[in-house]
Amino acid sequence: MKELEKSTELKILEAAKLEFITKGFDGARMQQIATKAGINKALLHYYFRNKENLFKAVFGNVFGDFFPKIMTTFQSELSFFEKLRFFIDGYINVLNKNPKLPVFILHEIQHRPELLLNSLKEQGVNPKIIAGMVEAEMVKGSLKPVPVAHLLVNMLSMCIFPVVAAPIMREVLFDGNEKKYKNFLEERKQYVYEFIINTIKK
**By the criterion CB under 7 A, which residues form the site for DNA?**
1, 4-5, 8, 28-31, 39-43, 45-46, 49-52
Residue of 1, 4, 42, 117 that binds its own copies (CB under 8 A): 117
Q: Is 26 in the site for its own copies (CB under 8 A)?
A: yes
Q: Considering beta carbons, is residue 38 or 124 the nearer one to its own copies?
A: 124
- Class of residue 140 by CB neighbours under 10 A (exposed 0-12, middle 13-18, buried 19+): exposed
Q: How far is the CB of 5 from its own copies (least distance, A)?
A: 32
Distance, first Cα to last Cα, the chain: 62
Smallest distance, its own copies to C-beta of residue 114, A: 11
- Contact criterion met (CB below 8 Å) for 81 and 142: no
- Candidate residues 5, 82, 161, 177; the one interacting with its own copies per rule CB under 8 A: 161
One of 172, 177, 178, 186 touching its own copies (CB under 8 A)? 172
132: alpha, beta or left? (left if phi > 0; alpha if psi -120 to 50): alpha
HSE-up of residue 123 (Cα within 13 Å, Cβ side)? 20
Interacting residues with its own copies between 38 and 97 (CB under 8 A):
none
Distance CA 32, CA 193 (A): 42
